[in-house]
Amino acid sequence: MGETSSADLGTLRAGGKADVPFSFEVPQEGPVSYDGKLLCIVWEVRVHVDVPWATDIEESFPVAPPPR
């Protein structure tokens, strides 16, 4: 797994929305995205929302790095 970053957004109300700007760099030596029959390499951003006294929310979103 890659780097981890966190942001304290304070209190979010049910149904609320929060935008968290971020950026990242794909390492030049890292593998490119690939979807084959025996192997699949996918770059993704994972989001984890820590909800006190309730089930946390986790999502992942695929990203397509630019070709080299």
User: What residue segments make up the domains of the chain, in order of their start?
Assistant: 26-68
Q: Quick check: 2 pLDDT over 70? A: no
pLDDT tens digits along 16-62:
788 888 887 777 887 888 889 999 988 888 888 888 888 998 999 99
CA distance linking residue 41 with residue 31, whole number of Å = 8
pLDDT at 18: 80
Predicted structure pTM score:
0.62
